[in-house]
Chains A and B, each alone.
Chain A
Amino acid sequence: MTPAALLPYVVLAMLALAALQAWRRFRHWRAGRPALVDWARGLVALPKRYLVDVHHVVARDAYASRMHMVVAGGLLAASALSVLTAVPPLGQSRIWLGLVALAFAVTLAGALLVGARRYPQRPRRLSGGRFQILPILLLAYALGGLLTAGLAAAGASLPPLSALGLLLAAAGGLGLAWQVRAGPMRHALAGAIHLAAHPRPGRFEGERASALRPLDLDAPKLGVETPADLAWNQLAGLDACIQCGRCETACPAFAAGQPLNPKRLIQDLAAAIAPEADNRHYAGSPYPEARPVAGIGGLTRPVIGADAMIHPDTLWSCTTCRACVEECPMMIEHVDAIVGLRRFQTLELGAVPMKAAETLGELRGADEPGGRALAARTDFAAGLDLPRLADTGTCDVLLWLGEGAYDLRYGRTLRALVTLLRRAGVDFAVLGAEERDCGDTARRLGDEATFQRLARDNVATLTRYRFARILTADPHALHALRNEYPAFGGTFDVVHHTAFLLELIEAGRLPAGSVAGLSVAYHDPCYLGRYNGEVEAPRALLDRIGAERREMARSGRRSMCCGGGGGAPISDIAGERRIPDIRMGQAKDTGAGIVAVACPTCTAMLEGVTGERPDVRDIAELVLQAVDAGAQAASARPPVAAAMPMSALEPAE
């Protein structure tokens, strides 16, 4: 028997070893909680999810995309073709063997691309350790296969060289198969299962699918304490991680030197899947300013704690901005894992950071995170005479003010918005003292009980009135009301003020006016851009008012967080820098004179940046400025001004 004839058996041995290794690993997933998975839909959609959705993310790094296509395609083709060599007519065919050799040659090219990325100097975001062996194993498998099949195809009889090739292929191939349990090759098998049984299948069907799932508050254990408290398909998701480190380059907390690295977090969780586990094998970048932990865990052992795998400070550093989720080529849901872990800490242990505990206490006692009177929410509008829905009973647009209304700075934005609504003749009203906090902060901090109570109370209030839409300038409230309240019986048409103002201008109800000459960099709020996919309207609005728009290095769905989400400002985990300082630096780099914002939290965070910097202005303020400028220009030409009905709608100020 020639070495080439043995090639299929090498591949079969690889498959058997890979199956064994996969079983040794994947059987632990059964310890996870059951999950509702539509297998038929998932498996049918798998090729599309992989070739379109995953590719779309991978291709943001063109080199990685090409490298992966060549090496994975080559590996699969070479292995499949090699197995078929066992079929008699094919095994004798030199053309077929040539084809096999060609596939191995492609794999070899891929292996070289993999190696070139990691040697001599590995980029910081990539992991070392077992990952550094990967190109060597690939090289051995590809070179060995090429030698064996190539010699056979050429008809050359050089038994020692052929045998050497076969040995090399076997060594490399079996090494790769061995890595299915705990090495880079795990991502291939676990990733396929993860994509088919993804916890948020809507993500592949054009939905944003960013709402958190409600927690059953009658469950025996609330939240995630051990890896076994995660759903099995979440465990599969952890194993799908290829440690490419794109999440860590996107993470604002990582950039600020807070002790969070999403990659490390996922790896710590993944390491804890085995019964007796430790974190020794991780070879990527650490948590910045890492707090010391014991680094031991297991399927049924607590994950969080200085005596476990992950320090609580790591957990509370997250701003829930979803940048990691957006960047992850394996579609892993980091934020779900973090909120699940936080839920256990908050609901079962009461182990929230002290400042956050105060906020949550006020939310329970006063329905408001600052413990302020709900009736004081409209204080910002002194003199504007806001209509209350309780008085009017019905309105076209319900203006949801949100927590920002208590903030002096943000009050200016809301005053601008109210003035614009008046000028456009919009029939609107506010809830006044009946508006409770939407519960966003409570939910991100893991206090699902308080969130659910607030959600139910708010839904009960809202369903008592008749209105067509809810308008809000707060993307956090928008996300809660639009995407998370339906689970509590309230389905509302919620619109962000940027989209609404654009509508008004496009319908001709507001004269666009112009702020020409202002250079503006728009900062996307995470809860509007990433969570709700609304990145066009604010930009279109800025274009309509003639602002000279500049884009920051990170914008749109890949924008960087201001540091204000997820209760992070109140958890206040110390880092080396402040997230808003970093973001303001990016805004400054565009040379724009103004950072346009569209969220009360972003406003507060960016306004808190000291030193020389662009001005922070909400889009509503800019639109009002443009409208005012337009009105002035119009009144300079008397005949036209007289024809404008707008002045009749001017509020009495």
Chain B
Amino acid sequence: MKITVLLSPGLHPLSGKPVLPRLEAQAIALGKSLGGVLSGLAAASCPDGVADALGHGLAQLDLIATTEGEDPMPLLAAALAEDGPKLVLAGRRSQGGEESGLVPYALAKALGLGVVADAVAIEPGTEPGTLSILQALPKGARRRVVARLPMVVTVHPAAPPALPYAYGAARRGTLRARRVQAAPGAPDAAPGLFEERAYRKRPKLMRGAGTGGSAAERLRAATEAGGAGGRVLTDLSPEQAARTILDHLAGLGILR
């Protein structure tokens, strides 16, 4: 199976030095555990940080040179369309960059693939051409999803740890400069889509946090899963289910 791991130039949250985002190193480990032909793909203006992927177990890495501030999406989409990997592994969002977290989705849309988010484990499905993916949900819940290849999978921080960096392996790995022609008509992030502002620390509001009672009671009030908020419907037809969800979203004012 041909697997491509998407990599991005990250910045260390404190030092600001170029590093490989930890999630992407974990994506490499997850891809290696599946076996198959694993290669990396990145669009970056400089190999610093990205090239560390070679030390975390990746043997080969294609680097598409971009100019500072260029949208990597069309270039990545073009390269992936050219390579046609069965599985694209990615982190959840970049680190120290624009961090929209949209790249895996935008790529999947451009390539016409499905996305399974927040994988903590991947194994081949019982049926050929499928993968059985363990997905991380909030509050430690897990869900098993079986999906048909090809697809895009993003990795959750609870996935197995990355392989330790090995200098010798990084030295042996090959870093190829790759040239691709951006597909015409590919969605291009409009300049000025993102506005940059200095980070302002906000107090963390705890829903339902009480003011009275003992510390233990307040903690319980703040952390207890709200039991009254939802409904569990079973044995609905797909149409009924879709209708119920749409009604709910409309009720919340999300859909108009």
Contact = CB atoms under 8 A, between A and B. Distances in A.
User: Does B associate with A?
Assistant: yes
Given A364-B19, A365-B19, A352 B164 contact: yes
Interface in B141-187: 161, 163-169
Nearest to B13: A371
B55 interface: yes
Given A350-B55, A350-B57, A222 B167 contact: yes
B15 A374 contact: yes
A367 B14 CA distance: 11
Nearest to B56: A350
Nearest to A357: B164
B243 interface: no
Contacts, number: 60
A447 interface: yes
Contacts of B57: 350
B12 interface: yes
Contacts of A361: 164-165
A221 B163 CA distance: 20
Interface in A355-394: 356-357, 360-361, 364-368, 371-374
A347 interface: yes
Contacts of A368: 15
Contacts of B17: 365-367
Contacts of A360: 164-165
Contacts of A642: none
B167 A366 contact: no
A449 B167 contact: yes
Contact of B167 (A347, A356, A373): A347
A365 B166 contact: no
A357 B165 contact: yes
6 contacts: A221-B168, A347-B167, A347-B168, A351-B164, A364-B165, A365-B12
A371 B19 CA distance: 12
A348 interface: yes
Contact of A222 (B12, B52, B163, B168): B168
A19 B130 CA distance: 68
A222 B169 CA distance: 10
Contacts of A448: 167
A28 B130 CA distance: 54
Contacts of B164: 346, 350-352, 354, 356-357, 360-361
A64 interface: no
A87 interface: no
A553 interface: no
Contacts of A354: 161, 164
Interface in B79-119: none
Interface in A214-269: 217, 221-222
Interface in A421-447: 447
Given A349-B166, A364-B19, A365-B17, 14 more contacts: A217-B167, A346-B166, A348-B166, A348-B169, A350-B55, A357-B164, A357-B165, A360-B165, A361-B165, A364-B52, A365-B19, A367-B15, A368-B15, A448-B167
Interface in A510-552: none
A361 B12 CA distance: 11
Chain A contact-residue range equals: 20 to 34
Please give me the 7 A-B residue pairs with the lowest Cβ-Cβ distance, nearest first: A350-B166, A357-B164, A348-B168, A366-B15, A449-B167, A350-B164, A365-B19
Interface of A: 217, 221-222, 346-352, 354, 356-357, 360-361, 364-368, 371-374, 447-450
Nearest to A370: B14
Interface in B40-74: 52, 55-57
Contacts of B55: 350
A347 B15 contact: no
Nearest to B17: A365
Interface string B7-26: 00000101101010000000
A28 to B, nearest CB: 26
A350 B56 CA distance: 8
Nearest to A350: B166
A79 to B, nearest CB: 50
Given A350-B55, A350-B164, A352-B164, A366 B14 contact: yes
Contact of A350 (B12, B15, B169): B169
A349 B55 CA distance: 10
A373 B166 contact: no
B166 A366 contact: no
Contacts of B169: 348, 350
B27 to A, nearest CB: 16
B28 to A, nearest CB: 12
A160 B165 CA distance: 74
Residue in A356, A357, A368 with the greatest tally of chain B CB atoms within 10 Å: A357
A360 B55 CA distance: 13
Contact of B165 (A221, A350, A367): A350
Contacts of A350: 55-57, 163-166, 169
B71 to A, nearest CB: 26
B233 to A, nearest CB: 43
Contacts of A373: 14-15
B92 to A, nearest CB: 19
A540 to B, nearest CB: 41
B168 to A, nearest CB: 4
Contacts of B52: 364
A437 to B, nearest CB: 12
B116 to A, nearest CB: 27
A347 B55 CA distance: 9
A366 B52 CA distance: 14
Nearest to B12: A365
A447 B170 CA distance: 13
Residue in B12, B19, B55, B56 with the greatest tally of chain A CB atoms within 10 Å: B12
B12 to A, nearest CB: 4
Contacts of A222: 167-168
A570 to B, nearest CB: 12
Residue in B14, B19, B163, B169 with the greatest tally of chain A CB atoms within 10 Å: B14
Contacts of B166: 346-350
A222 B56 CA distance: 17
A97 B19 CA distance: 79
B230 to A, nearest CB: 38
Nearest to A353: B164
A46 to B, nearest CB: 38
Contacts of B165: 350, 357, 360-361, 364
B167 A365 contact: no
B234 to A, nearest CB: 42
